[in-house]
Each structure stands twice: as C-alpha cells, then as structure tokens.
C-alpha cells in the first residue's frame, strides 16, 4: 500500500492519520478536509468556546510539530465529491482526481436543519467552528431572547452556555423529556431538572410548527399554537452522516457507511471511522468512538483484511449548568435504574442500569471518581472481542441511533 | 509552602486537591507523594479525581494519562505537560511548594 487517503480532517480523521504512522505506514498519506481549518476538537464549541472561556488555539487537536511528524499532504478546504466503484479513485471538487490504495472515510455528520429556515437571519446550528464563531458573535450582546430547539447534548449545552451569558433561554423538546432515548425516563427527568435549576425554561412534548420573521427571526411557533418571541434560535435536532459524496460508489450506505465490527466496508481497502461510520450495525456519534475506532480500522486496512474488531464500551459526557454528566454502557428499554451513590435530589450521584442482576450501563452526575471505577468494571466485564468477516447489514433492520455527545 | 493535610490523612492510592490558583493535586502513589497541577491539560477535569495506577494518573473525563514524576502526558488526548510541584513533609504534615508559574507549563 503506497498511498492512503483520509477523507475528513476532524477528530476521527486525525486519529486515523496518527494510527497509520504509529502502525508503521510510511507511504504517501493524504488528508482531505472540507473545512479550511486544521483539525480541531468539537466538544468545547458548545461550552467553553461559546462562553469565551476557551479560544480557537485551545481547540487545536495537533500542534505544528506533530503535524510535521505526520508527514501528510493536507488538502484542506477541499470537498470530496465521489468515489469510483472499486474504491480506488477519489473525485475531488473542481474535477480533480486522486488515486489511492487505501481509503479512510471520516467525513463525519452535518447538523440537521429546520426545513424552510434557510436565509432567515438569527437561526443557527452548532456543529463546526464556523457555526460556533457565528453563534458566539451573535450572543455577544447579552439580554437576548434565545429559543433552543432540541434538548439533546448540543441543545442542552448551548442553552446552558446562553443562560450563563445572561440571555433569557427557552428550550423546546418534542419528546416528553430531554435525553430520553439515551438515559431512560427516570434519569431523563433528572436532567430536565438541570435546565430549571439553571434558570432555563423547558417546554417538552411539543414540536415546532414554524419560525416567524421577515429577514431575521422574531418568533418560534410551536405545534400546540404557542408563540415564543425570539431574537435568536439555535436548532439542535441531531446530525446527518455525510455520505452524499459516496452516492455513486459501491459502498453500502444507510444512515452512515456500513462496515463490520472492524470498521471495514465490503472493500477491504476502504474503512470508515467516526460519526459517518455504522460499525456492526450501530452509528455512535461520540467523541470516544471517533478516537477508539481508528486503531482497529487502520490495523485492518494495513492487513488487507479484518484481523481485529473492537466493541468498545460506549461512553459520553456532557457539561450542563455546571453539572458534569457521564454515561457508559448499553442501556436497553426496561432496565432497572438504581442510585448507588449520592442522591438525585441534590449534589451528584452515581446510578446503575441493571438487567437480570447485571449492570448494563452507569450514569453519573458530578461523581467522576466512582464513575470511572464503574466504567472500568463494566468495560472489563464485556465479552472478549473476536474478528468477524464482513457481513452486510440489512438496511431495513437499522434503527437510527440518536446519540450525539 | 502550603500545608495540605496530615500524612496519615492521605493513604496509599488516595489524592487530595488544594484550591490554589491554579489548583494542585497531591497523590500518594504507593507511599511516594507527588503534586501536579490538578487540571488536565486537555480539557477542564480534575486529575485528583482520576485513576491512580503506579506513577500514572488517568484523567476521569477523556482518559488522558500523566506521569506524576514529570507531569508529562503518556497518551492522547493530552499533549501538554502539567506542572509538577515539590512536596515536603514537616512534623507529619504534607506541604506543597508550588512551582513558579513561568516557563513550566510547556
């Protein structure tokens, strides 16, 4: 393998590039990134970056020395537009092509937009550095009426940041509770209380009918007819994997690039990592997945077949209203929830999700140390990994996995 | 020098955080005391709440690991060292002599 191309220059793409060099690949390494920016870390965008506690240089994922060590060709500000049937020739914008022996797909996901709001000023999404710059600038005035649509991680963190900047914030959530699919009803109710504690109004169980405004937004109309005056709207309703550029390829696509447990597609020289990858039937939009998958993916890529697979324990965290939420494991509907440390009424706590006497997941609010211990126990209790051959997943059996963070 | 706690109040495997600016974490790693900056150099998390194993402490948020002897990160995502500080035990009380701020947080 003489040339390996990584498409996507964010967290997963950079980690893949690092793994390629760490695992001994000394050929030509090309990194294609649609954004003009060097790789940066996204989690702070909705938190410290938005509130001005962190600046852009603190978001950088690699320093110049490390970039020099990677010895890669960076094609930043360059969008990949297609991949040939054999997965060997990449079509870049402006009609340029790039022939490659190996390919790492790390194109991530894009913020889902509210239909019919294009061109309406004051409506923001938060996914990229450019999004965050625009939102940070718009929030600098203070005293705005902000409506956040969606109470997932991005929505909740953004609402928390806006409240801490002194804005009047309302969060609208279509589901009965925030983070319901991730945490289940008991703990979702606890997270709902965080919003109220932070001084944010939380409206649940109703969707958004439309936005009002001539030129710039003035109000959000809810499905139940209520109208919320708004100077600024943040739309945090999830993300869509960036697979559009692969439409003409022979890769299997269904809410992500389908790959086996080893991140390998049906072409052994094409692997996928991060938010865009549906690994073994699951797409996990987690920082941790983006940092853990590349080691396995690159090992398989360089071996030319699936020799390794990983089922790392899902882990995500979120900082909201001064509380740190950490979750690890695989919760299922109907799991029992038991608080084993602290109390949900005040301060922090640790709880376990249990099924048939076994812990399936752990959740902590402001209990990092016991959480870490529980996460390690859970991780070591997992069944051992075994390599699996590529098995296409039937598209209709796939349920979306709404887990940002 | 800043008094931290009595020696017997920091058993092996335990850590304590002192609210200096920036905060400092003191560890008892298998009987040897170490002090480093408490805040992970990657993102805001308290290393005193981390996982202590030998001379390494793992950040409770993103699993960056630091060598208590040097303050150097031993794995990603941290890339910058945390400062180390001198620990002195006097009359059974642990003290920390914070490092001067300049030129240490490389």
Tell me what percent of chain B is helix, strand and coil, each rounded to the nearest 5.
5, 45, 50
pLDDT, residue B104, reads 44
pLDDT digits (tens, 9 = 90+) for A261-273: 999 999 999 999 9
Query: Using a CB-CB distance cutoff of 8 angstroms, which residues of chain A are in contact with residue B58?
Result: 372
C-alpha closest to that of B60 among B49, B71, B69, B76:
B49
% of chain A at pLDDT higher than 90:
87
Q: Say which of B60, B76, B77 has its CB closest to residue A368.
A: B60
| Phi, then psi, of B37 in degrees rounded to 5 | -60, 140
The pTM (predicted TM-score) of the whole model is 0.89
Task: Give the model's confidence band at A397: pLDDT under 50 very low, under 70 low, under 90 confident, else very high.
Answer: very low
Instruction: Quote the distance between the C-alpha of residue B38 and its chain's center.
Output: 6
Shortest Cα distance from A233 to chain B (angstroms)? Answer: 28
Residues in chain B, overall count: 106
pLDDT digits (tens, 9 = 90+) for A336-380: 999 999 999 888 999 999 999 999 999 999 999 999 999 999 988
Number of helices (H), then strands (E), belonging to chain B: the values are: 0, 10
Best of A372, A374, A376 to disrupt the B interface (most B CBs within 10 Å) is A372
**What is the CB neighbour count within 10 angstroms for residue A85?**
11
pLDDT at B6 over 50: yes
Please compute the mean of the pLDDT values over residues A71-88 and round it to a whole number.
96
Query: Using a CB-CB distance cutoff of 8 angstroms, which residues of chain A are in contact with residue B46?
Result: 368
pLDDT, residue B73, reads 96
**Cβ-based burial of A177 (10 A; exposed 0-12, middle 13-18, buried ≥19):** buried
Cβ distance of A48 and B79 shorter than 8 Å: no
| Residue A371 contacts B, CB cutoff 8 Å | yes
pLDDT digits (tens, 9 = 90+) for A194-211: 999 899 999 999 999 999
Q: How high does pLDDT run on average in chain A?
A: 92
| Residue A317 contacts B, CB cutoff 8 Å | yes
Please compute the mean of the pLDDT values over residues A6-28 and round it to a whole number.
97
% of chain A at pLDDT higher than 70:
94
| Residue A49 contacts B, CB cutoff 8 Å | no
| Residue B75 contacts A, CB cutoff 8 Å | no
Beta carbons of A301 and A294 less than 8 angstroms apart: no
Beta carbons of A133 and A127 less than 8 angstroms apart: no
pLDDT digits (tens, 9 = 90+) for B60-87: 999 899 999 999 999 889 989 999 999 9
């Amino acid at each position: 393998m003489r040339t390996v191309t990584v498409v996507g220059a964010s967290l997963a793409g950079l980690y893949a590039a690092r793994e390629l060099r760490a695992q001994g690949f000394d050929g030509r390494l090309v990194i294609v990134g649609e954004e003009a920016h060097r790789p940066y870390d996204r989690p702070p965008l909705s938190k410290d970056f938005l509130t001005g506690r962190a600046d852009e240089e603190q978001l950088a994922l690699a320093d110049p020395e490390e970039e020099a060590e990677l010895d890669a060709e960076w094609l930043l500000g360059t969008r990949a537009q297609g991949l040939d049937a054999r997965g060997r020739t990449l079509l870049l914008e402006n009609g340029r092509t790039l022939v490659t022996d190996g390919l790492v797909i790390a194109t991530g996901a894009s913020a889902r937009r509210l239909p019919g709001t294009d061109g309406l000023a004051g409506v923001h999404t938060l996914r990229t550095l450019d999004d965050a710059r625009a939102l940070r600038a718009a929030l600098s005035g203070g005293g705005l009426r902000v409506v956040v649509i969606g109470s997932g991680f991005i929505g909740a963190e953004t609402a928390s940041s806006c409240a801490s900047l002194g804005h009047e914030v309302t969060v609208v959530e279509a589901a009965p509770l925030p983070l319901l699919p991730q945490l289940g009803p008991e703990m979702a109710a606890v997270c709902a209380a965080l919003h109220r504690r932070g001084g944010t109004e939380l409206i649940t169980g109703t969707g958004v009918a439309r936005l009002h405004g001539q030129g710039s937004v003035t109000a959000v109309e809810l499905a139940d007819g209520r109208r919320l005056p708004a100077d600024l709207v943040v739309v945090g309703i999830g993300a869509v994997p960036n697979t559009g550029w692969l439409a003409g390829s022979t890769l299997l696509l269904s809410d992500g690039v389908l790959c086996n447990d080893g991140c390998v597609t049906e072409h052994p020289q094409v692997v996928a990592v991060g938010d865009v990858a549906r690994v073994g039937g699951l797409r996990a939009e987690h920082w941790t997945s983006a940092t853990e998958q590349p080691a396995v993916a690159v090992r398989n890529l360089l071996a030319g077949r699936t020799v390794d697979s990983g089922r790392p324990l899902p882990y995500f965290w979120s900082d909201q209203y001064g509380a740190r939420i950490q979750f690890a494991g695989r919760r299922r509907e109907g799991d029992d929830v038991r608080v084993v440390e602290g109390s949900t009424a005040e301060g922090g706590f640790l709880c376990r999700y249990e099924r048939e006497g076994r812990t399936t997941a752990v959740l902590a609010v402001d209990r990092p140390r016991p959480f870490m211990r529980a996460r390690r126990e859970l991780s070591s209790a997992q069944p051992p990994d075994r390599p699996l051959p590529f098995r296409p997943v039937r598209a209709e059996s796939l349920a979306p996995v709404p887990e940002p963070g | 020098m800043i008094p931290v706690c009595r020696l017997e109040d920091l058993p092996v495997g335990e850590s304590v955080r002192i609210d200096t600016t920036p905060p400092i974490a003191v560890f008892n790693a298998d009987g040897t005391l170490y002090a480093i900056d408490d805040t992970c150099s990657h993102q805001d998390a308290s290393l005193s709440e981390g996982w202590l194993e030998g001379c390494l402490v793992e950040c409770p948020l993103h699993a960056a690991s630091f060598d208590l002897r040097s303050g150097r990160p031993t794995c990603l995502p941290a890339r910058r060292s945390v400062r180390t500080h001198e620990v002195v035990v006097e009359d059974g009380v642990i003290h920390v002599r914070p490092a001067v701020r300049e030129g240490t947080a490389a």
